[in-house]
Chains A and B, each alone.
Chain A
Amino acid sequence: MSPSLTQGSQHRWLLTLLTLTVVLLSLAPSLRLLVEALSDLTQGSNAPLWRVLQSASTWRALSHSLYTSGLGMLIALALGSLFAFVITLTDIRGKAWLVFCFMLPMMIPPQVTALSWLQLFGPASPLLKSIGMAPPLGSPQPLYSAEGIALLLGIQSAPLVFLALRTSLLSLPRELVEAARISGARQTQVWRHIVLPVTRSGLVAGAAMAFISSLGNFGIPAMLGIPAGYYVLPTLIYQRMASFGTGVLAEMAALSLLIGVLALAGVALQQYWMGRSRFGLVGHSGRAHDFSLGRFRALVTVLLVSVLLVILVAPLVALVVSSLVPAMGVPLNADTATLNAYHEVIGRQGATWRAMRNSFWLAGGASVVLMLCSLPLAYRLQRLPARLQNLTLSIIELPYALPGVVLAIACILLFVRPLPVINVALYGTLGLIFVAYLARFLVVCLKPVSASLAQLDPSLEEAAQLAGAGPWRRLATIVMPLIAPALFAGGLLVFLLAVNELTVSALLWSAGNETLGVLIFNLDEGGESVLASAVSVLVVLMVASLMLSLSLLAPRLPKGVVPWQG
């Protein structure tokens, strides 16, 4: 056997082994959940699955989930595509700032978004009190409603649509647009006939991502829905677990199965659409296009800026105002302004620092581990037959597509007893949250890498192979540098998602192991809105400064690493 052949098969076996391991780890929680949900089916109408399916609350929560996520998806689609098309295609000014501000809501944790919007409306709003516009006491908080939840879900997931569509738009070769223009198409016709159909896959993928993410969102329906008694599936599970503890695990598993099936249907739909409109595009790409807005430029700029004022600036101002008053319902003025809330959370509550440290370790660790796995995994996946590849991708997507609450339930089931052989108990430690994050966010890191690999011309690697490069060397010197931007972008997204995570940790945390998300949620649930606002302001500052420092670093990084930089 020649040396290169040995090396080649060693390479293939190692990667296959890695793929199999990842697939098994992704599948294990869901399988455990399935076993639990379908257990005791022989008991007939007394089986957990039947009990859940016969309960009216299940069907009510299901329809609530579908309604809020569907409406949220439409809002996200409208906002995300407006910003993606205008910023990527046209000559509008201040693109970098517009993108930065638009991406911020995605990076801000949902519970903080919900909190800040709650501070904006309602009779107790310190901001409305301060400017004398507060509705009379006793009037309802408009956000405690299905539409309120949908609006916030839409704003939160709009950047997902934006990113997916922008990536698609940037990979649209310049020549395709130019060929249409020289054929006599006006800018609007080029957009309708060429840009929109060719980038449809990005749009559909973004919409599907927005729907799935809204379906699994816990922070927003928890903070807006629970006070109004409006339950969606994730909050229903949370509520039952909080009330009855692990005694109802079997029923919760059955309920989780229901959401799981729903989310998977969404994923299947997305993959079907992606497959239908995938083209091998040839030509110069990676550059924003230069559609001229002409005399509409001022108008469009005003439109985008006012959207940002409404969805970002106003709620954040309300949040800051709330953190500066002594108690809810007190207007802010020179006499009442106080930094007491900040003193309280930083100085006296050790929990804030602990939660921050926990979240940083979890998020940083997860993103590094996942970046290391993603490249070899994506590389091996690309070489699988198409059907097997789709199947594997679906399996890896499972823990992410499943709403966080479902994954949390599955992880509890899987790890509630100490691990066999090594006899280590993960339940009740940070380790459990870490494992859950690895499973959950793998696909976030893998997706951009896979997409980037799929667009890579195979002849580049073949040329290296002919030049004498073995499989490892090709991976390191040809594939890796070309994929690096996507890889870093994936790792970054994992970090930013994980550091703000609430849904999984809401069920998995234990005393001393709080995450940032849990801390804010607990403060707000305990009626400490002012303290929660103060922590939230600190979180927003952290997120914004993290994003800003990445922006400053962007010129030194490969192009495309920082999603909000062109």
Chain B
Amino acid sequence: MAGLTLKQVTKQFGEHKAVDGLSLTVEPGEFVALLGPSGCGKTTMLRMLAGFEQVSAGEIHLGDKLLASEQHHVLPEQRNMAMVFQSYALWPHMSVADNVGYPLKLRGVRGAEYQRRIGQALSLVALEPYAQRTPQDLSGGQRQRVALARCLVTDPSVVLLDEPLANLDRHLRASMEHSFADFHRRTEATMVYVTHDQSEAMALADRIAVMQAGKLVQWATPETLYREPRTPWVASFIGQGSQLMIDTGAPGRRISGNELMRGLTSPASQRSQPVLVRPEHIQVHPDAPSQQDLTARVERQTFRGERYELHLHLNSGETLLAYHSQALQEGQQVALTLLEGWCLEPDQ
């Protein structure tokens, strides 16, 4: 188990910079997600960590060992990492047990110890009865679990996961998410997880690196990302919420509800500070609003089981998303109390 350090890592394909000056420090045993829309460079970054791609500039360290720089390249087989591929990458000519045992064979593990560790790995993913099947006989979720077992059979210093849930159905995803979290708790391995699904990343990761067009936009815990996103792009990518423009506040500062509501009253031309308001920070009063209140009209509502999602229209023209416990009338006027807001950096 060791930490990863990325220093100004860059990958260039011709003119195009797939990854551009990415710096990160991953603590030993941390579960990290690389999150971003498709084409943001997260998979390229993962492949550089694995050693399948060479870095164009910058350095990658594992603990205090240099893995990759412009002149230096440790081969994938010498990195002691493991990877779960999106397509599972199970070898079709080997049984499930042979697939799982292959990394052990390469490390010279033989005989009873070999059998014991395969059995242990397969029992962790609840696939012991399937040991002698071929991968072609298994379902998607079972194949994924074999791939996972193959990762945990040795003690890799880093486990890489490339969109491992992308090919699975939603029900299976939930249970696989659980297996990943469980797996991480047991092995305490450093894990790097690539995904474009923010809810997956939020549920699993200790820290998330949000990437956009090859660059790192924010590197923080899920809670911080949710509460204190750096830019409007991150704010819209993660969780729900509305972005308003006000005339007070400064980037990276939390402002109180009073300040926020005052900031909304000035003319549009003077309001240049973007602010994020999460729906749980809006109180809706369905009784007829008075003159002093901030008022809005109910545009549309969506039933979500435990609550209603309200799409509100402020009198000044902005839209707001809020929650409410009961159904309202569409077109109804309501009074609002904003509890707090988070000031964002304007997008470049």
Chain A residues at the B interface, C-beta cutoff of 8 Å: 173, 175-176, 178-186, 189, 193-194, 197-198, 200, 277, 279-284
Alpha-carbon distance between A470 and B88 when the two chains are bound, in angstroms = 34
B89 pairs with A181, CB closer than 8 A = no
Q: How far is the CA of A193 from the CA of B83 in the complex (A)?
A: 18
Q: Are B87 and A181 in contact (CB under 8 A)?
A: no
Q: Complex: how many Å from CA A189 to CA B107?
A: 12
Distance in Å: Cβ of A457 to nearest Cβ of chain B: 12
Q: Is the CB of B77 within 8 A of A186?
A: yes
Please list the 10 inter-chain residue pairs (A to B) with the smallest Cβ-Cβ separation, ordered nearest first: A279-B92, A175-B89, A183-B103, A179-B89, A283-B87, A181-B76, A197-B93, A184-B106, A175-B85, A282-B87
Q: Is A183's CB under 8 angstroms from B102's CB?
A: yes
Return the contact of B77 from the options A181, A194, A280 (Cβ within 8 A). Answer: A181
Assembled-state Cα–Cα distance A452/B121 (Å): 37
Q: Which residue of B lies closest to A177 (CB)?
A: B89
A283 partner, pick from B89, B103, B150, beta carbons under 8 A: B89
B50 at interface by CB-CB < 8 Å: yes
CA distance A98 to B106 in the complex (A): 34
With beta carbons under 8 angstroms apart, the residue of A179, A194, A277 that contacts B85 is A179
Give CA–CA (A181, B92) in the complex, Å: 16
**19 A-B contacts (beta carbon < 8 Å):** A175-B87, A176-B89, A180-B91, A181-B51, A182-B79, A182-B81, A182-B82, A183-B77, A183-B82, A183-B103, A183-B154, A184-B80, A184-B103, A185-B77, A185-B102, A189-B106, A280-B92, A282-B88, A283-B87
B181 lies within 8 A of chain A by Cβ: no
B83 touches A179 (CB 8 A): yes
Find the residue from B51, B52, B85, B160 having the highest chain A CB count within 10 A: B85
Structural contact, B106 and A182, CB atoms closer than 8 A: no
In chain B, residues 300-332, which have Cβ atoms closer than 8 Å to a Cβ of chain A? none
The answer to whether A178 and B103 touch across the interface, beta carbons within 8 angstroms, is no
Q: How far apart are the CA atoms of A369 and B109 in the complex, in Å?
A: 58
Contacts of B80 in A (CB 8 A): 184
CB of B223, distance to nearest CB on chain A (Å): 32
CB closest chain-B residue, reference A198: B93
Q: Which residue of A lies closest to B84 (CB)?
A: A179
B residues within 8 Å of A by Cβ?
50-52, 75-83, 85, 87-93, 102-103, 106-107, 136, 150, 154, 160
B75 touches A181 (CB 8 A): yes
Kindly provide the distance from the CB of A459 to the nearest chain B CB, expressed in whole angstroms.
13
Q: Which residues of B contact A200 (CB under 8 A)?
A: 93
| Contact in complex: A198, B92 (CB < 8 Å) | yes
Residues of B within 8 A of A183 (CB): 77, 82, 102-103, 106, 150, 154
- CB of B17 to closest CB in A, whole Å: 22
Pairwise interchain contact A180-B102, C-beta atoms closer than 8 A: yes
A282 to chain B, nearest CB (A): 5
A200 to chain B: closest residue by CB: B93
Contacts of B87 in A (CB 8 A): 173, 175, 282-284
Known A-B contacts: A176-B89, A178-B76, A185-B102. Give 5 more (CB < 8 A). Answer: A173-B87, A176-B91, A184-B106, A279-B92, A279-B93
Compute how far the CA of A86 lies from the CA of B308 in the bound complex, rounded to whole angstroms.
64
Instruction: Kindly identify which residue among A182, A186, A197 contacts B83, using a CB–CB cutoff of 8 Å.
Output: A182
Most-contacted residue by chain A among B79, B87, B103, B160 (CB, 10 A): B87
Q: With A179-B83, A182-B83, A184-B106 as given contacts, are A277 and B93 in contact (CB-CB < 8 Å)? A: yes
| Residues of chain B with a CB closer than 8 A to A179's CB | 83, 85, 89-91, 150
Which residues on B sit within 8 Å (CB–CB) of A283? Answer: 85, 87, 89
A280 CB contacts on chain B under 8 angstroms:
92, 136
Query: Which B residues are CB-close (under 8 A) to A282?
Result: 87-88
- Min CB gap A524→B, angstroms: 48
Chain A residues with CB under 8 A of B79: 182
Closest to A290 in B: B52
Asked if A184 and B77 sit within 8 Å, CB to CB, the answer is yes
Contact status of A173 and B89, CB under 8 A, knowing A181-B77, A182-B83, A183-B82: yes
Contacts of B81 in A (CB 8 A): 182
Of the candidates B80, B88, B93, B150, the one having the most CB atoms from chain A within 10 angstroms of its own CB is B93
* Closest B residue, CB atoms, query A284: B87
Complex alpha-carbon distance, A179 and B50, angstroms: 10
Min C-beta distance of A220 to chain B, whole Å:
36
Give CA–CA (A103, B127) in the complex, Å: 48
Q: Which residue of A lies closest to B106 (CB)?
A: A184
A107 to B75, CA, bound (A): 40
Q: How far is the CB of A290 from chain B (nearest CB, A)?
A: 9
Closest chain B CB from A286 CB (angstroms): 14
Residues of the A chain whose Cβ atoms lie less than 8 Å from the Cβ of B88: 282
A202, B75: Cα distance in complex, Å: 29
Contact A185 B91 (CB under 8 A): no
B1 CB → nearest A CB, Å: 17
Inside 8 A of B93's CB, which chain A residues have their CB? Answer: 197-198, 200, 277, 279
CB distance from B290 to the nearest CB of A (A): 56
Q: Which residues of B contact A173 (CB under 8 A)?
A: 87, 89
In the complex, chain B residues whose CB is within 8 Å of the CB of A197? 91, 93
Q: Please determine whether B136 and A279 come into contact, CB atoms closer than 8 angstroms.
A: yes
The CA-CA distance from A186 to B78 in the complex, in Å, is 8
Chain A proximity of B165: nearest CB distance (Å) = 16
How far is the CB of B28 from the nearest CB of chain A, in Å?
19
Q: Given A175-B85, A198-B91, does the pair A193, B76 have CB atoms closer than 8 Å?
A: no
Q: Within the assembled complex, what's the spacing in Å between the Cα atoms of A491 and B119?
A: 52
CA distance A175 to B160 in the complex (A): 13
A-chain residues with CB within 8 Å of residue B51 when the two chains form the complex: 181-182
Minimum C-beta distance from B272 to chain A (A): 47
Q: For residue A279, which residue of chain B has the nearest CB?
A: B92
Q: For residue A535, give the distance in angstroms from its CB to the closest CB of chain B.
A: 49
Docked Cα-Cα span, A198 to B91, in Å, equals 8
Q: How far is the CB of B108 from chain A (nearest CB, A)?
A: 10
Q: Considering the complex, give the chain B residue whose CB is closest to the CB of A193.
A: B102
Nearest-Cβ distance from residue A185 to partner chain B, whole angstroms: 5
Q: How far is the CA of A280 from the CA of B93 in the complex (A)?
A: 11
Query: What separation, in Å, do the CA atoms of A175 and B167 have in the docked complex?
Result: 15
Nearest Cβ distance between residue A488 and chain B, in whole angstroms? 28
Interface core residue of B75, B90, B102, B136 (most chain A CB under 10 Å): B102
Q: Which residues of B contact A189 (CB under 8 A)?
A: 106
| Cross-chain contact B91 with A182 (CB below 8 angstroms) | no
Alpha-carbon separation in the docked complex, A277 to B93 (Å): 8
A184–B88 Cα gap in the complex (Å)? 17
Q: How many angstroms between the C-alpha atoms of A176 and B107 in the bound complex?
A: 19
Q: Which of A176, A194, A280 has the most CB of B within 10 A?
A: A176
Q: Smallest CB–CB gap between B150 and chain A, Å?
A: 7
- Give A477 to B107 CA distance when docked, in angstroms: 50
Contact A182–B76 (Cβ < 8 Å): yes
B77 adjacent to A182 (CB under 8 Å) = yes
**Is A194 within 8 A of B103, CB to CB?**
no
The distance in angstroms between the C-alpha atoms of A186 and B88, with both chains bound, is 20
Residues of A within 8 A of B91 (CB): 176, 179-180, 194, 197-198
Distance between Cα atoms of A279 and B75 in the complex (Å): 29
> Which residues of B lie under 8 Å from residue A182 when comparing CB positions?
50-51, 76-77, 79, 81-83, 160
Distance in angstroms between the alpha carbons of A280 and B138 in the assembled complex: 12
Q: Which of A181, A185, A197, A283 has the largest number of chain B CB atoms within 10 A?
A: A181
List chain B residues, Cβ under 8 A from A284.
87
Q: How distant is A538 from chain B, measured CB to nearest CB, in Å?
A: 44
Give, as a whole number of angstroms, the nearest-CB distance from B48 to chain A: 13
Q: What CA separation (Å) do A185 and B83 show in the bound complex? A: 13
The residue in chain A whose Cβ has the minimal distance to the Cβ of B105 is: A193
CB distance from B334 to the nearest CB of A (A): 44
Q: Which of B92, B103, B106 contacts A281 (CB 8 A)?
A: B92
Complex CA gap A453/B39 in Å reads 31
B89 to A178, Cβ gap below 8 A? yes
A178 touches B52 (CB 8 A): yes
The CA-CA distance from A283 to B167 in the complex, in Å, is 12
Closest chain A residue, CB of each to CB of B135: A279
From A184, A186, A197, name the one whose CB has the most chain B CB atoms within 10 angstroms. Answer: A184
User: Which residues of chain A are near B76, meaning CB under 8 Å?
Assistant: 178, 181-182
Contact indicator A184/B52 (Cβ below 8 Å):
no
Q: How far is the CB of A2 from chain B (nearest CB, A)?
A: 32
